[in-house]
Amino acid sequence: MVEREITGFMVRATTEPEEPGAVFYEPAFRIRKIGEEYEHPHASYAISQDVVSRTQEEALRMAEAELREITDVIWNGEKWDTRP
């Protein structure tokens, strides 16, 4: 599991869903404000267009690679966003 602190948030690379046994996995992040316990889910759909199958390991590698590129975490009401 790869995790980074970015602009006051802990961002953890994961998959959506996180549980094993799904048919398809999306690269995803769990975002937690420093000092809080609740992790907000953030699926990273933009890098996974036009794919009909993906293992959990493939999706996790994609999320970890994207996490290395993120420079900012934006929170606007209930919407979380990341910026490379």
Contact 25, 55 (CB under 8 A): yes
Distance of alpha carbon 36 from alpha carbon 56, whole angstroms: 27
> Token digits for 29?
């992040």
| pLDDT, tens digit, 9 for 90 and up, residues 34-61 | 998 888 877 655 455 666 778 999 999 9
Cross-strand pairs, 78: none
Q: Average pLDDT for residues 22-39, to the nearest whole number? A: 87
